[in-house]
Amino acid sequence: MKKFAVLLCMALLFAGFELGVAQSRRVPEGTSGKSNQRPATQPTPTPNPQNTADSDPNQSVHPEAVDEGEVIRVDTQLVTIPVKVADRKNRFFGGLKKEDFRVFEDDIEQEIALFSNEEQPFTVALVLDMSYSTKFKIGEIQSAAIAFISQLRPQDQLMVISFDEEVHMLCEATNDRQRIYRAIKSTKIATGTSLYDAVDLTMNERLRRITGRKAIVLFTDGVDTTSRLAHDMSNLRDAMELDALIYPIRYDTYADVQAMNNGGTMTKIDLPGGIGGTVSTGRGNPGGIPPSTSGPVPGAPDPANLPRQGPSNQRGTSIEDYRMAEQYLSNLAAYTGGRIYLADSMGNLNDAFARIASELREFYSLGYYPKEEATPGKKKKIKVKVSQTGLVVRSRDSYVVGKKPKKK
């Protein structure tokens, strides 16, 4: 009996000990101990507008108070300027750095945000007039264009565009020389001259979407006869918004066209490629009849041997048309910082292409975000200066503020 009582006492003592241990392992509510339940969070109070950074410029807004779904958009557009620097003997001056330049817009100095030197590659759009009024043979144009491409650097990209009554995109921007050569060799002489449409497509549908240094080399006499989507003033306005150089290579066909107008008639000839057709003395006439010239167009007869016909009042044949053409091409070059070249023979055509290829290797590019927001369409003055003395800076002197990109 005594033995049973002892065992009972020991059992009671052991049970009390286990109860104490279990209680000591419990985590009181509200402590920092681990738990399977997440602690309740208090709702964030709505900020008082009077306590935000809008009222105190020195006070920052806590990150938790910013709506993560809010997108901040920057509408300021980067203005880029091609710049050439030469010494007093008109030799290119290389090796300049970002800190050597200063840029002013409307006499307000701007902070240069982008800088690239002469070693950066170019994207060049080669735009070729393939109308019947051209002064050169198709083979001569192709050879001169291929020689031009060969003088550019391997990393430079080229696109090839030709135009007659229609605009032909022959090759998108690439540095694959074989593709470029094939595109140039595929060009064909045809009727009509949609110069303004070709320039419009090149600027707005191709070069605007390309970043970096870029230029247009435009081979034409400057007279348009068949454009439907653009005109000279729209081209010039867009050129002032475009951050690209434009180099027109102009040849004069006025005397040839006048000779045809005063002594030509309709005659049956074989057109290039063995296709029969009819030639008249007009230029780019609405009927689609290819005009003859006194220049060496393949398959075209000598105008002096054509039967006589009365003068033509076709669009693109008057002295006023040619004066407008010359002014149009001069303005394209002047507005963009490029240069116009004249080509009346194969010798100076090749020389013009060679000089342009050389110039494209001699440009810096500067970019800045204007300090003052301007109204789209407003003209802004630009002035670029260098720190070294005795140097001449050539760049565009103005630009037109483009439209803001649409918010997506």
Cα(152)–Cα(55) distance, rounded to whole angstroms? 57
Give me the domain span that covers residue 129. 122-361
Whether 151 and 101 share a structural domain: no
Whether 92 and 162 share a structural domain: no
Nearest to 124 by CA among 77, 85, 171, 88: 171
Band (pLDDT 50/70/90 cuts) for residue 402 is: confident
Q: What pLDDT is stored for residue 112 in this prediction?
A: 96
Whether 250 and 303 share a structural domain: yes
Q: Answer with the residue of higher pLDDT: 143 or 253.
A: 143
Whether 151 and 255 share a structural domain: yes
Percentage of residues in the chain with pLDDT exceeding 70? 67
Residue 199 lies in a domain: yes
Residue 337 lies in a domain: yes
Whether 96 and 130 share a structural domain: no
Tokens of 327: 């002014």
Residue 55 lies in a domain: no
Model-level pTM greater than 0.85?
Answer: no
Q: What is the pLDDT of residues 137-185, one digit of tens each?
A: 999 999 999 999 999 999 999 999 999 999 999 999 999 999 999 999 9
Residue 189 lies in a domain: yes
Nearest to 220 by CA among 307, 329, 383: 329
Whether 215 and 97 share a structural domain: no
Q: What pLDDT is stored for residue 76 in this prediction?
A: 55
Whether 213 and 342 share a structural domain: yes
Whether 87 and 191 share a structural domain: no
Burial 358-387 (b: 16+ CB within 10 A, else e): ebbeebbbbbbebeeeeeeeeeeebebebe
Q: What pLDDT is stored for residue 132 in this prediction?
A: 86
Domain tally, the chain: 2
Cα(280)–Cα(296) distance, rounded to whole angstroms? 16
Residue 204 lies in a domain: yes
Whether 340 and 379 share a structural domain: no
Whether 112 and 178 share a structural domain: no
Q: How far is CA 166 from the centre of its chain?
A: 22
* Cα–Cα distance list, 402 to 73, 77, 293, 307, 331 (Å): 17, 9, 41, 53, 19
Phi and psi torsions of 218, nearest 5°: -115, 115
Name every residue whose Cβ is closer than 8 Å to that of residue 229 and which is 6 or more positions away in sequence: 196, 197, 200
Residue 205 lies in a domain: yes
Instruction: Return the SS3 of 202.
Output: helix
Q: Answer with the residue of higher pLDDT: 104 or 260.
A: 104
Whether 288 and 160 share a structural domain: yes
Q: Does residue 104 surpass a pLDDT of 90? A: yes
Q: Does residue 103 surpass a pLDDT of 50? A: yes
Cα(332)–Cα(247) distance, rounded to whole angstroms? 8
Whether 99 and 194 share a structural domain: no
Tokens of 278: 């009819």
Cα(242)–Cα(400) distance, rounded to whole angstroms? 9
Band (pLDDT 50/70/90 cuts) for residue 30 is: very low
DSSP string across 291-359 = BP-SS--TTPPPGGGSPP-PPP--TT-SHHHHHHHHHHHHHHHHHHT---EE-SSHHHHHHHHHHHHHH
Q: Answer with the residue of higher pLDDT: 306 or 362.
A: 362
What average pLDDT does range 81-109 have in this prediction? Answer: 93
Q: Answer with the residue of higher pLDDT: 106 or 314.
A: 106
